[in-house]
Copies of this chain bind each other. A is one copy, B any other.
């Protein structure tokens, strides 16, 4: 017999996967310039004030070749630039360009607006709790398993 705990887990699983299914499509549709992946990588660069391709790959569990191509695309669009690392000639430190920061801000704003609309009728407390649960879940699923 499924416990209520099992049922909650089942629901969480179903809803999160459903979200995953939709996310890419809607992102692609609303922001043809900056796909979900590109957006995320660029946002990470902005957040970290620059980092290496390898760091991106590790953080997002992507193959380095994938990151290499995504970064190349972002560079072609003028959203990131590569700076040599003085300490290690192999390394290119990636930074958003001013245009990159601009575009990021604009996409983030409109994306935020879409979320705001969906979350418009939530109480502040519910929002805070939902956010907290998601962070907690995210930590659990990125943390290296023992």
Contact = CB atoms under 8 A, between A and B. Distances in A.
Interface of A: 4-13, 15-25, 27, 36-37, 39-40, 60-62, 111-112, 115-119, 122, 124, 126-131, 133-138, 140-142, 145
Nearest to A143: B118
Contact of A13 (B16, B111, B126): B111
A12 B119 contact: yes
* Number of identical monomers bound together in the oligomeric complex: 2
B12 A141 contact: no
A37 B19 CA distance: 12
Interface of A is mostly: helix
Given A17-B36, A19-B20, A23-B20, A118 B141 contact: yes
